[in-house]
Structure 1
Amino acid sequence: MSSDKPAVTVIGLGSMGSALAAALLDRGHPTTVWNRSPGKAEPLVERGARLAATPGEAVAASPLVIACVLDYAALYAVLDGEADALAGRTLVNLTSGAPEQAHEAVGWARERGADYLDGAIMTTPPGVGSTEMMFLYSGPRAVFESHRPTLAALGDPLHLGENPGLASLYDAALLGLMWATMTGWLHGTALVGADGTPATDFTPVALRWLTAVGGFLTTYAPQVDAGRYPGDDATVDVQIAAIGHLIHAAESRGIDNALPELLKAAMERTRDAGHGSDSYASVIEVLRARKEEG
């Protein structure tokens, strides 16, 4: 194993943790691993990883410790007693969780003398190691920059800001966008499929349309920030009429309409709030209003 690159420790060898360790090995990083079930480390050891007998031994082996375990409770259960080993090291936590948990983890790490970065993995295990896949990080920029070259072995590292909860918050927001997009595509696929169009024929057209939708987002983002929504392209009133055609077509073909009905309801609330002649971006006003009401 090459020693010209910084050593790294990976705690947790589920599917994702194993992929992280493999990517580090591929880039020549001396890699120490630990897992509660040591048998999961065997394929990595065969590739040159070092298996630590205890979490403390694993942490002590490297200046950078990457944790990818089930949840924050598991993180604390594994590392809570390793204060001496953690002191002076950087813990990068790629465990899924809430922004509030990331804030708590900062204090937990600080008490043990460790720097802390929170992270989110925006890919599945097969995508780890690809420069096309985003890894989101939040926390001290200086800490991030000092380890950026190593983190780049996992994917494209993006620093979102000093607020430690940002990576988890972006993760939740982007997953919501993914689910909404995929469900919209599936609804459209079911709709055209009812008239005999295969998904493989519909999807290239859908992907081209998504490129145009990306342009709408670029247009709408400054409107959202400014709180002004000029209806220069298509107003909320126009969108309400258009989605009515979708609902009718789906209903006529026996396709579930829960998603478009939900979208229509949001548009109608936006219209009723006085934004009928504004752009679709004004829907954010009713989404924010629901938060305030709660």
Structure 2
Amino acid sequence: MTSPGGAGTGPGRPARPDASMDLLRQVREEAMEPEYLTAADRRGVTTPPGRGIVGTVLVLVLAGLMLGGSWRATSAERPATTQERGDIIQRIESASAHQSTQQARVEALRRQVGAMRASESAARSASAQVSRAEVAAGAAPVAGQGVEVLVDDSADGSQDGRIVDKDLRMLVNGLWQAGAEAVAVNGHRVTTRTSIRGAGSAITVDYASITRPYRVVALGDSRSLPADLSQNDGGEWMSYLHNNFGVRYSVTPRSSVRLPGSDRVTATAATPR
């Protein structure tokens, strides 16, 4: 039965000396096992008030130490984390700068390659122009289909049946007129600067004496050259000598002829640019 003026005291039970410390008592009593409290109550044992206060203080001190240790650990890790973040940012910036540098180098190399290709293309074009000019000037050897013309003195040895420098000039000019791309007389390439002259009883090509029979080779269309030659002044002149003075004259188409280049092609007025 509960007394009207008490709060939870049994009949005939004296008032607790620590009744004014309800909060500390509640913490202590709730921290103890129920069985221990029951046994203590049966024996009438009263826990000294100082012991509960000391335990509570110890618990609070331990909790404070743990919180302090955690705070110190967090504070110690924070500078390391900040430093690592700074290192990562620095590496990213360095990698970005390196990438930009490499990209600039790639663009520079691309421009160089483009310039080299353009230069190479220009060089090929210039080389092709030089090759065509060398062929036209007679400085480069040429090969292809063409005709072979054999000319010789008459068999009777008469003066009228003798081949002279004028006859060879007429023949060479006739071949050019018929469409020949290159002409050689006894292995000497004929160019725009070639001279065919008589020196006594001999004939010279570029001041080099040649001997009979005279072999004139022309590079060109082997099907049209003979017919075209027969219809111009050079062919008609040689046919006239053949028919009237017995001069040996024959035109034979060839599927392949080869003409050497002239070593006497020089520039006297032109200057390189």
Larger radius of gyration between Structure 1 and Structure 2 = 2
Question: Taking structure 2 as the reference length, what is the TM-score of the superposition?
Answer: 0.15
TM-score, structure 1 normalization: 0.15
Bigger relative contact order (CA 8 A; separation at least 6): 2
Q: Which has the higher strand share?
A: 2
Q: Which structure: greater helix fraction?
A: 1
